Each structure stands twice: as structure tokens, then as C-alpha cells.
Amino acid sequence: MASWMLREAEEAPKVVERLLKENEAEVRGLAAFLRRRPPALVLTVARGSSDHAALYAKYLLETRLLWPVLSLAPSVLTLYGARPRVPWPSLLLAYSQSGESPDVVETVRAYRGAGVLTVALVNQEESPLAQAAEVVLPLHAGEEQAVAATKSFLAMLAATVHLLAHLLEEPALRETLPALPEAMGRALGAEGSLEDLVEAENLFVLGRGLVFPMALEAALKLKEVAGLHAEGLSAAEFLHGPKALLEAGFPLLALVQRDQALEATLRTLEALKATGAHLLVLSPEPEALDLADVPLRLPLALSPELTSLLLAQAFYPMAEALAWARGLDPDRPRHLSKVTRTR
């Protein structure tokens, strides 16, 4: 029987289709307001997979709109009692599946009280986080039973791109968005498997630019469901120290797409292959797949903003299958529960 993790990953295309329809009016209104009053600073607050979605927002907003984005450490406020001063006007994006983590909720309340526009991208519309924020963009993912978030994470990415598409002056991304749900369905059929990692003890997952948050997410999922010590790193940062750990046969998983980072990423992969590392590559790009010992072919690509999301969608079934192959139930990660509350 298929796991909840797999079934929920397979639901993600329908979730995103619903999100794009149901949130259209709210997103259009929020984007119009932000275009009239662009933030001097964008803040994000999140935990776990949600923080990877927040990092994705950073890359999108900084590269496409030139808006500076700062990730807040909730404990600065909740444990140390400090709230750094921020310029006016500022925007706070809070990401959460459950909307119940007290430190994220308290951070949103505090910054809203200081006059910051707060937006919650959250799956539970009646949650404390949704009530604390001034604006709510629901994820429309429905109940998520698997401990490892899949469809809610993909919905966070889609909700972020949806907002970006309406913030941009040119319409290309807005016009491409309707193709996203169908493309996500096709991404579920990506070719290849992670079976080479069945006996692995350690793994580096690499990405660059817009794909880096997906590398972090992939590493987290492999730790959660497959019991594999995986570390997500920027392909650039990897060269500044962690590369020293490589030896012949050491497994590396690289997520690669075509954008401004492609050429630098290809050069990095060529150098890593020369060390004897065992290279797995998830990508739609032939140049990247040709470098792989194990090519994992994404069957299509859209714009860079959307292909990043397709890479995450394609990865989830592979991680689920690897968990079973390693003798683990992906729906029952050790020591974890669905909602984690930190203060």
C-alpha cells in the first residue's frame, strides 16, 4: 500500500491548481498594494521545511525584484527578548503548515504590533498564526497526515511564485503559471531512482541559486524518512571546506536547472566527478545528466522559478521509495511528530 507521504506528494498538482484559483483575488490585491508601497526590507520567519520555502522566497524576491530579504531567528525575540529595529515600510512573510509553533506566532504578533505588514502562508486557516497575521494566503493543501510535509511545502513554493508573478511588471510568469499543475503531474514520473543510496551512510545534496532551497529540503527529507545522514549545501559553499571529506565513491546528489547558475554548477560537478565522487543528478538538462553516474531525468522544464518546484516534486517519490528500500516506513520517522512546537 502506498504511504501517506507518496499519496500526498501525488495530490500536490491538484493542491496547486486549487491554490492558484482560490488565492487569485487576495494575491492580486496584496501585490497591487506592495507595488504602490514597496517594502524597504522583507523579513521571513519559519521552521523546518517551511524555512526552505522562506529561503526560496529570498532568492525570488532578491533576484527578480531586488528587494532585500532577511530571515529572522525566532529565538532572538522569544528567548533573548530582543526585536531588531527594521526600516519602514517592511513586510514579514511567515511560512507554516500547522500555524501552531509558538515562536513563529509570537514573532508575527510582535512585528505586526510594530507596524510591519505581516502575511501568513499557512495551511490551517483557523490556526494561531493565521489569526496573528494581517493577511493570510491559505495553502489549500487539506489535511496532511504524513509527518514529512510534501504537498504543503510545494504549496508554499507555489503561493510564493503566485505572489511574485503579480508583483512583476512583465506578464511572462503570470502567463506560465496555469501550466504548473500539469507540469507537476509529469514531474512525478521523473526517470531513475535513488537505489544506489540503499547502503549509504552519508550524502551531500548540492544546489545553487534558486535550487539551493530544494537541496536543503531534499537533505532534510532523506534524514527524516530514509534515516540517511544527508547534508544540503550550496554548490559554491561546498568548495569552501566540505569538499575535503570526499573520497572515491562518496555519494553526491546534485539538483540542477537552467538559469544563470547553470554554467558555474556544471563546472563544479565536473571538478567533483574528477575526485571519484559518485554523482547522482536530478535535472532536465542533458549537460548535467551527462556528468552523472546516476542520471535522474526530470521530463520537462518551465521557467527557472517553476522548474525549481518541479525538482522538489520529482524528488519526493524517489525519497519515499528509498525509505522502503532501507527498511523504513516513510510515514513513521523515528522521534518525530507532525506538529513541532518550539519556543
The per-residue pLDDT for range 70-112, each reduced to its tens digit, is 999 999 999 999 988 999 999 999 999 999 999 999 999 999 9
Across the chain, mean pLDDT equals 94
Find the Cα–Cα–Cα–Cα dihedral 26, 107, 233, 219, rounded to 10°.
-80
CA–CA distance, 26 with 73 (Å, rounded to integer): 28
CA–CA distance, 167 with 176 (Å, rounded to integer): 15
Query: Could you give the angle at the alpha carbon of 100 between the alpha carbons of 94 and 101, nearest 5°?
Result: 70
pLDDT value at residue 242: 72
Q: Which amino acid is at 192?
A: G
- Partnered with residue 278 across adjacent β-strands are 251
Query: Angle 304-325/4-22 helices, nearest 10 degrees?
Result: 160
Q: Which residue has the cell 546534485?
A: 254
User: CB count, 10 Å around CB of 264?
Assistant: 13
pLDDT value at residue 338: 47
Q: Which amino acid is at 117?
A: L
- φ/ψ bin of 211: left (φ > 0), alpha (ψ from -120 to 50), beta (otherwise): alpha
pLDDT value at residue 243: 67
Question: Cα-flanking dihedrals φ and ψ of residue 229, to 5°?
Answer: -70, 95
pLDDT exceeds 60 at position 62: yes
Q: How confident is the model at residue 145 (pLDDT cuts 50, 70, 90)?
A: confident
CA–CA distance, 112 with 203 (Å, rounded to integer): 40
Query: Could you give the angle at the alpha carbon of 70 between the alpha carbons of 66 and 72, nearest 5°?
Result: 160
Closest listed residue to residue 74, CA positions, set 105, 99, 118, 52: 105
Distances in Å between the Cα of 328 and the Cα atoms of 68, 149, 320, 333, 339 are: 41, 17, 9, 8, 21
Classify 121 as helix, strand or coil.
strand
Q: Which three cell numbers stand for residue 265?
A: 554548477
Looking at 23-32, 66-75, 235-244, 311-320, which range is the least confident one? Answer: 235-244
Closest listed residue to residue 151, CA positions, set 8, 321, 338, 20: 8
Do the bridges between strand 117-122 and strand 135-138 make them parallel or antiparallel, or are there none, so unpaired? Answer: parallel
Query: Angle 151-167/4-22 helices, nearest 10 degrees?
Result: 20
Q: How confident is the model at residue 237 (pLDDT cuts 50, 70, 90)?
A: confident
Q: How confident is the model at residue 231 (pLDDT cuts 50, 70, 90)?
A: very high
- Structural domains in the chain, CATH included, are 4-186 (3.40.50.10490), 191-325 (3.40.50.10490)
Task: Give the length of the chain.
Answer: 343
Average pLDDT estimate for 263-270: 94
- Give the distance from CA 244 to its chain's centroid: 27
Distances in Å between the Cα of 211 and the Cα atoms of 116, 271, 277 are: 29, 19, 21
pLDDT exceeds 60 at position 340: no
CA–CA distance, 114 with 80 (Å, rounded to integer): 18
- Partnered with residue 251 across adjacent β-strands are 278
Q: Which three cell numbers stand for residue 279?
A: 554523482
